Amino acid sequence: MIDPTFVELSRWQFAATALYHFLFVPLTLGISWLLVIMETVYVMTGKEIYKDMTKFWGKLFGINFALGVTTGLTMEFEFGTNWSYYSHYVGDVFGAPLAIEGLMAFFLESTFIGLFFLGWDKLSKRKHLAVTFFTALGSNLSALWILIANGWMQNPIGSVFSPETMRMEMTSFAEVFLNPVAQVKFVHTVAAGYVTASVFVMAISSWYILKGRDLAFARRSFAVAVGFGLAASLSVIVLGDESGYELGDVQKVKLAAIEAEWKTEAAPASFTLLGFPDQEARETTAAIKLPWALGLIATRSLDRPVIGLDDLEKKHEERIRSGQIAYGALQKIRAGDKSPETRATFDAHARDIGFGLLLKQFVEDPTKAGEAEIKAAAASTIPTVWPLFWSFRIMVALGFLMLFTFAAGFWLNATKRLEQNRWFLRLAVAILPAPWLACEFGWFVAEFGRQPWAIGEVLPTFLATSSLTVGDLIFSLAGFLTFYTLLLIIEVYLMVKFARLGPSSLGTGRYHFERGALAAPAE
Amino acid sequence: MLDYETLKLVWWVLVGALLIGFAITDGMDMGVGTLLPFVGKTDVERRIAINTVGPHWDGNQVWFITAGGAIFAAWPAVYAAAFSGFYMAMLLVLFALFFRPVGFDYRSKIADPTWRKAWDWGLFAGGTIPALIFGVAFGNLLQGVPFRLDELLRAHYQGSLLTALLPLLNPFALLAGVVSLAMLTVHGGTWLQLRADGAVAARARTFVVALAPVVTIAFALAGVWLWLGIDGYRIVAEPSHGALPNPLAKEVVRAPGAWLDVYARMPIAVLVPALGLVGPLATALLARAARPGLAFVTSALGMVGIIGTAGISMFPFVMPSSLDPRSSLTVWDAASSHLTLTVMFWAVVIFLPIVLGYTVWCYAQMWGRVTAAEIETRAHSAY
């Protein structure tokens, strides 16, 4: 049996390295497009200030990007290092989008990004703009492929378990590629990245305006960010990935847990705005409910019910029993039984083999599990509700806060009243951490809500690990945390230093610290 | 559509090509990292060296990442067993590589000499440690790795922490590490000779002339050792090559000299190690004759020979098991399904030429020697 402490440590390491990585990804996804917009204006109008904007925000982008690359390296190999059985079991399907991500996206992004930073004097205006564009395209394509991989973990379609090779095998690349969960996740995630970058540029520009520094530079940056951010935050909210939550049992569990819907309500279900989920009693106390809302959001209909956790657990118990039969037939096939009866038994229950594997947390041989173990395994398919319930609500609240800020900023800017409304500028600076928090809470909901599965309904997390030791994991987890934290401190130090310096850091001689504090703003 | 057996073979060639592509491109900037503290005495000289690879190292590193992804997709069993089996070594490689993105981007953002010197050593570590460990990994693959597969095809290994790491650092593996480190350092040296200016290029030339023969000598020694002192692996019974992959369905024996079977069966294969021996020598001569462009090419050809030798000597093995030879992973039984290999084959056929095309374009745009004058005029934007 696999040591639960070891499984916990493996999960902590993946969560830590992935959440660290995603501190740097969203800014890259969005700011690369903001740079394309700024540089396009420069190429079209020939105004130097837009070149300075591209260079300055590009400098901050570079400081962020370096850690995105650093922490991303770990991710490419971590499935192999720490989730070895996972890699064997699903590599046939999951490996393909990862490899294509390298070929199609990482090469594009990383080959051109060096020319973005260092090619200003060597490339013509148009060529440099093309370089900036391909960097942005590459970053965003990498999000596409990694979310196809992640979408498959949530809703594993286009594949089948093969008893001969003892792994999942791809049956349709098109299905894996067009997985609706993946497509929704992609749009939601890149739009969240665009919001992050817009908040970043808006907040720092607002700070310059509050300080009365480099106003021409700050106003233009603000206008680009707030326009892009308003459109992006609307898409994030409208295209929230709840719409994909109907597909597959795991997504259903996640949805019911987010909403703390213990029992199936008559359609259309009401939406629990706030409340205190009680896991033991299986009810939500002090719940404030909006009638109909959940049914409408989740099923886009008035007549389909949202299945509650109790009913899902009952259904899972059935699937575990079916999985036991599948596992028994699998053992016979692996031992050389070629009879059509065994094969027929296996095929009839094959889709529940993953549920059978859930029993391995209690017994070595799932066919020998008793009633108590089956009940316990079924209970393990229901995640702890309150962290999901609250994380989701924090994410959504932050989303609306950012939408409000962009809308207000857009309106104040359009009516030329931005600089009089210092409360707004202070708010715009203060919400700087909001998009990062929202992104991290969002990933927590998506991945904690997937538990106990590594691959939904297919492979339990505890089985997916490598055969390492607790000592190995303590060493590596400590190593990653130490390295990443040190690098993060250095990154934030440089980011703050250059954000404070502002465009004066470009050495053009046209900005605040280069011309004395009382000089007129550059036009 | 290609048949399954052919595709399995094609994927062995493609993974080999990605690894060689990694050595030629990223190996070059890692070699520059190793040489950095020695070819640059002043800050400007070091910036010259760094900026010869500054615009390109990140794209080059994607060869490493893509090779990892391709092994995941094409040989999931190898991806699963190798990276967890070499856990400690893999962590060392990753921790060392962490210094590179930040080293390149952050180093020249602050003028403080201590800050810059610290990042210079970071770039040195980021180039040197992985180069050494990649060789050590190949040295261990050739000796067999202590892992076994259970009935559910889960991989198990011997040891943890230091008891897993230290046995990897055995004399033969360290010799392989020397081959790898020297070969990448020479390669980086030819690049510096080609693209850096003044004293940096001159010092790089000295290193190439001195180190390239070391590559040949160490590689030859490793060959003799492999012939006389290391047991190879041989398949004695196996299912057909087009069968569904199942590593446990074959029988494998360890035998002295088995890694040289291929040269008896196919004498022309001797050309591959010959290329590995001659390439570095030609590099030394060309560097000495101040022909760095050609020296870069022969250095790359030498790496094709050296990496190719490891590949064809072990063929069809990819990761032999010393603990349970039957668990060894081969080209035939570690592969993905027919569909996945097909999809990935077309992905490579479509995208690799595009990648090569824009990579060449980017190098062409940035071509020219990096000079001290250039660094001084672009002090705010250069690395």
What does pTM read for this prediction?
A: 0.95
- Residue in B152, B153, B380 closest to A507 by CB: B380
- What distances in angstroms separate CA B246 from CA A13, A351, B80, B252, B334, one per listed residue? 31, 22, 15, 14, 7
**Phi and psi of A214, rounded to 5°?**
45, 50
Residues of chain B with pLDDT under 50: none
- Residue in A100, A173, A490 closest to B102 by CB: A490
Return the sign of the alpha-carbon dihedral for residues A198, A200, A201, A206: positive
- Residue in B61, B81, B381 closest to A120 by CB: B381
- Residue in B59, B94, B151 closest to A107 by CB: B59
Chain A CA closest to residue B94: A74
- CA B23 centroid distance within chain: 5
Query: Between chains, do B339 and A169 touch, taking CB under 8 Å as contact?
Result: yes
Q: Give the C-alpha separation, A451 to A155, whole Å.
A: 13
Task: Give residue A381's pLDDT band: very low, low, confident or very high (50, 70, 90).
Answer: very high
Q: Which residues of chain A make contact with B84, given a CB cutoff of 8 A? A: 80-82, 84, 466-468
pLDDT value of position A305: 80
Chain B CA closest to residue A336: B249
For helices B4-39 and B43-53, the axis angle rounded to 10 degrees is 170
Which amino acid is residue A300, in one-letter code?
A: R
pLDDT value of position A265: 81
Q: Give the C-alpha separation, A137 to B368, whole Å.
A: 28
Q: Is B212 helix (H, G, I), strand (E, B) or coil?
A: helix
Mean pLDDT computed over A240-269: 78
pLDDT value of position A245: 64
Q: In the predicted model, is pLDDT for residue A522 greater than 60?
A: no
Q: In the predicted model, is pLDDT for residue A523 greater than 80?
A: no
Give A 171-190 residues with CB within 8 A of chain B.
171, 173
Q: Give the C-alpha separation, A170 to B342, whole Å.
A: 11
Q: List, for residues A434-477, the tens digit of each pLDDT value.
A: 999 999 999 999 999 999 999 999 999 999 999 999 999 999 99
Angle at A401 between CA A398 and CA A405, to 5 degrees: 140
Q: List, for residues A323-372, the tens digit of each pLDDT value.
A: 999 999 999 999 989 999 999 999 999 999 999 999 999 999 999 999 99
Average pLDDT, chain A: 92
What's the gap in Å between the CA of A29 and the closest CA on chain B? 17
**Phi and psi of B231, rounded to 5°?**
-75, 130
- Per the rule left: phi > 0, alpha: psi between -120 and 50, beta: everything else, A253 is alpha
From A89, A227, A68, select the one nearest A146 (Cα to Cα).
A68
- What distances in angstroms separate CA B328 from CA A82, A99, A270, B78, B263, one per listed residue? 20, 24, 57, 10, 22
- What distances in angstroms separate CA A431 from CA A128, A436, B76, one per listed residue? 33, 10, 44
Q: List, for residues A395-443, the tens digit of each pLDDT value.
A: 999 999 999 999 999 999 999 999 999 999 999 999 999 999 999 999 9
Query: Between chains, do B246 and A81 touch, taking CB under 8 Å as contact?
Result: no
Burial class (CB in 10 A: 0-12, 13-18, 19+), A130: middle
pLDDT value of position B98: 96
What's the gap in Å between the CA of B130 and the closest CA on chain A? 13
Return the sign of the alpha-carbon dihedral for residues B238, B239, B243, B249: negative
Angle at A352 between CA A347 and CA A358, to 5 degrees: 140
pLDDT value of position B380: 82
Q: Are B252 and B236 in contact (CB under 8 A)?
A: yes
Query: Between chains, do A88 and B55 touch, taking CB under 8 Å as contact?
Result: no
Who wins on pLDDT, A302 or A206? A206
Cis bond upstream, residue B316 (ω within 30): yes
